[in-house]
Amino acid sequence: MKLTKYTHACVRLEEDGRVLVLDPGTFSEAKEALDGAQAVLVTHEHGDHVDVPALVNALRGDSGLAVFAPLGVAGHLREEAPQAADRINTVEPGTSFAAAGFGVRSFGGQHALIHPQVPVVANIGYLINENVYHPGDSFIVPDGISVKTLLVPIHAPWNKASEVVDFVIGVRAPQAFQIHDGLLNELGLKMVESHVTRIGAKYGTEFTHLAVRETVDV
């Protein structure tokens, strides 16, 4: 597969002419990422992970586009794009399905805690083709499988550097790339990534920083 990193939490996967997009949010180049996609996976309802107007426009403009998301997101999208309701699928944790010809497995179920006074929402982590794992806003470690490519939420209001490093250690994927990096400036990003790179290497994970729109083979 070819993996393209967009700003913050959005990535695009391509294989044999098929295109799958994860978390095209308001911080990312959502319209660009969605161009030509056959399926979209959304981890949860926060705007930095789903640009609802951009996704609704894509659904209206492409009768072949399918979306997979937690219940709340799926329901909202059906309200906004009723003509595409049959292509908007609700995902529960612990399921397997196909999206644009990619094999997908779902994990987790709950967003990481930001603060006791901030409501917790549903969050689904996705493993694609037994290879790429996007956890959304969580540190859920997939059970019973070996992740090959880990997408690491490098910084968020709900995490700290030690938790990021422990997540990388817990998953032990051979390679890892950053996501959820839109809230840090260049200096802060380098500092957190240096810890992930150094400590992750001790446990067999090679961490690589991806620039916006950079594409790698995974």
Give the residues across from 40 on adjacent strands: 21, 67
What pLDDT score was predicted for residue 208? Answer: 98
Q: Each residue of 2-11: pLDDT tens digit?
A: 999 999 999 9
* Amino acid 123: pLDDT: 98
Q: Is 144 left (phi over 0), alpha (psi -120 to 50) or beta?
A: left
Rounded CA separation 67/74 (Å): 8
pLDDT at 85: 97
Section 54-61 average pLDDT: 97
Cα–Cα distances (Å) from 79 to 88, 207, 214, in that order, read 11, 40, 34
The pLDDT, as a whole number, for residue 161 is 96
Phi then psi for residue 206, to 5 deg, are -95, 110
Cross-sheet strand order for the sheet of 102-110 = 96-99, 102-110, 122-128, 132-134, 149-153, 175-179, 206-208
Residues 6+ apart with CB under 8 A from 61: none
User: Residue 175 gets which letter from DSSP?
Assistant: E
| Residues 59-91: tens digit of each pLDDT | 999 999 999 999 999 999 999 999 999 999 999
Q: What is the mean pLDDT of residues 39-58?
A: 98
Q: Is the dihedral of CA 148, 167, 140, 52 positive or negative?
A: negative
Q: What integer pLDDT is reported at residue 199 of this predicted model?
A: 98
Predicted local confidence at residue 131, as pLDDT: 98
∠ CA 154-25-157, nearest 5°, is: 40
Q: How much is the pLDDT for 165?
A: 98
pLDDT of 186: 95
Could you give the CA distance from residue 58 to residue 94 in angstroms, rounded to a whole number? 28
Residue 10: the pLDDT is 98
pLDDT, position 164: 98
Q: How confident is the model at residue 189 (pLDDT cuts 50, 70, 90)?
A: very high
The string of pLDDT tens digits covering residues 156-175 is 999 999 999 999 999 999 99
Q: Summarize pLDDT for 104-153 with one digit per residue, the tens.
A: 999 999 999 999 999 999 999 999 999 999 999 999 999 989 999 999 99
